């Protein structure tokens, strides 16, 4: 009958459609298996590259610090302060030697000691004296020039090595300027270190505050490294972001007394009864007892902490004028 024939045709069509669907399913399963195989291969390659990158980081760290050791674990730099524009200081390009026709101070610019030797010719003297350093920065050197020389040490600190940078010199020689700079909010004019004749020094162009010292620039490098590591971890699926906690402390030392510049106001004066001692544990870690540390998460927060510490330092000096400038400030 016609109904039976129609039913048979429907069964045949359904069977054909089923065969077609099964064929398509098998094709898609084959494609899925191929894709899964490619994904597995790519994951294996990615894992291999990540292992290579980790190994490269280990090698880089080792080679970097080998270079630093070859340069010397202890280095001494000399920075020449420009004469003041107010005329209170003598010029150094003349007046030296027996006849006063030699520069009082000159820097070696040729030979193997170029950029590493200072020659001093005392007025009326018959002999000039030479002093050798690991690096000499002339009066026209910018803050960036100085920082580029010690930025590798900041990287060593990030690699887990202990690093200490300090300045030493007479009052007014530029120690605080080199370490901290003038600061963007400082009302006084910038020191001649950052600007000569009103023009920016080479390498300062484009910087919002080229007078930033070694401490602010080091802090910026530390947080930049943290952000770069976090960004790299974010690109790596499932990777745990690196944990980096940054804390800041600042003390002042006068007559072997340690003053916590971030502690309570009473402890920021020379009359504080709080006793701070330097302790060394078995692992070689050095700490100062009773010292306040402040957690910071950005260069801006560090700047606020430094400003607070500097204010405490100035307040303590005002309370006890006899301390004068014979104090040492330490930040870490």
Whether the predicted pLDDT of 315 surpasses 50: yes
DSSP 3-state of 30: helix
Q: What is the mean pLDDT of the chain?
A: 78
β-sheet bridge partners, residue 257? 254
pLDDT at 91 (0 to 100): 61
142 vs 211: CA distance, rounded Å: 8
Whether the predicted pLDDT of 319 surpasses 60: no
Percent of the chain at pLDDT exceeding 90: 14
**DSSP letters for 1-26:** -HHHHHHHHHHHHHHHHHHHHHHHHH
Q: Are 147 and 133 in contact (CB under 8 A)?
A: no
Phi, psi for 34 (deg, rounded to 5): -65, -45
* Distance from chain centroid for Cα 271: 34
Residue 114 φ/ψ region, left for φ over 0, alpha for ψ in the -120 to 50 degree band, beta for the rest? beta
Q: Mean pLDDT across the stretch 37-60?
A: 82
Q: Mean pLDDT across the stretch 83-110?
A: 72
- 42 vs 234: which has the higher pLDDT: 42
pLDDT at 318 (0 to 100): 54
Whether the predicted pLDDT of 188 surpasses 50: no
Whether the predicted pLDDT of 263 surpasses 60: yes
Residue 266's pLDDT band (boundaries 50, 70, 90)?
very low
pLDDT at 218 (0 to 100): 93
pLDDT at 327 (0 to 100): 61
pLDDT at 78 (0 to 100): 95
Residue 214's pLDDT band (boundaries 50, 70, 90)?
very high
Q: Are 117 and 133 in contact (CB under 8 A)?
A: yes
Q: Mean pLDDT across the stretch 151-171?
A: 88
User: What's the half-sphere exposure (Cβ side, CA atoms, 13 Å) at 261?
Assistant: 27
Residue 283 DSSP code: T
319 vs 312: CA distance, rounded Å: 11
Contacts of residue 219, Cβ cutoff 8 Å, sequence gap at least 6: 299, 302
316 vs 115: CA distance, rounded Å: 39
pLDDT at 92 (0 to 100): 63
Residue 176 burial (C-beta neighbours within 10 Å; 0-12, 13-18, 19+)? middle
Residue 287 DSSP code: E
List the single range of 40-49, 124-133, 173-182 with lowest mean pLDDT.
40-49
pLDDT at 332 (0 to 100): 61
Whether the predicted pLDDT of 196 surpasses 50: no
Residue 130's pLDDT band (boundaries 50, 70, 90)?
very high
Contacts of residue 109, Cβ cutoff 8 Å, sequence gap at least 6: 115
Q: Are 235 and 242 in contact (CB under 8 A)?
A: no
Q: Which of 118, 121, 98 is nearest to 108 (CA)?
A: 118
Distances (CA, A) of 51 to 48, 56, 58, 72, 238: 5, 8, 11, 32, 15
Whether the predicted pLDDT of 145 surpasses 80: yes
pLDDT at 198 (0 to 100): 37
């Amino acid at each position: 009958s016609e109904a039976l024939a129609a039913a048979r045709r429907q069964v045949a069509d359904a069977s054909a459609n089923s065969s077609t669907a099964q064929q398509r399913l098998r094709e898609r399963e084959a494609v899925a298996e191929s894709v899964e195989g490619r994904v597995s291969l790519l994951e294996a390659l990615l894992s291999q590259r990540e292992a290579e990158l980790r190994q490269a980081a280990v090698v880089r760290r080792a080679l970097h610090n080998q270079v630093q050791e070859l340069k010397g674990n202890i280095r001494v730099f000399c920075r020449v302060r420009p004469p003041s524009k107010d005329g209170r200081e003598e010029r150094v390009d003349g007046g030296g030697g027996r006849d006063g026709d030699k520069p009082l101070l000159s820097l070696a610019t040729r030979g193997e000691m170029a950029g590493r030797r200072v020659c001093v010719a005392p007025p009326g003297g018959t002999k000039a004296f030479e002093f050798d350093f690991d690096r000499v920065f002339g009066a026209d050197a910018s803050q960036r020039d100085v920082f580029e020389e010690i930025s590798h040490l900041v990287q060593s600190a990030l690699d887990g090595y202990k690093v200490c940078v300090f300045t030493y010199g007479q009052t007014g020689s530029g120690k605080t300027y080199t370490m901290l700079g003038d600061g963007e909010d400082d009302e006084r004019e910038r020191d001649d270190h950052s600007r000569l004749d009103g023009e920016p020094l080479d390498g300062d162009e484009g910087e919002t505050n080229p007078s930033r010292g070694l401490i602010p620039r080091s802090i910026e490098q530390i947080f930049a490294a943290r952000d770069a590591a976090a960004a790299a971890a974010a690109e790596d699926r499932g990777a745990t972001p690196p944990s980096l906690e940054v804390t800041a402390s600042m003390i002042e030392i006068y007559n072997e007394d340690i003053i916590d510049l971030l502690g309570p106001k009473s402890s920021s004066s020379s009359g504080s009864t709080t006793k701070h001692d330097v302790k060394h544990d078995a692992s070689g870690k050095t700490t100062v007892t009773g010292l306040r540390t402040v957690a910071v998460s950005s260069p801006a927060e560090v700047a606020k902490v430094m400003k607070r510490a500097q204010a405490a330092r100035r307040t303590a000096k005002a309370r006890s004028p006899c301390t004068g400038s014979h104090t040492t400030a330490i930040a870490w």
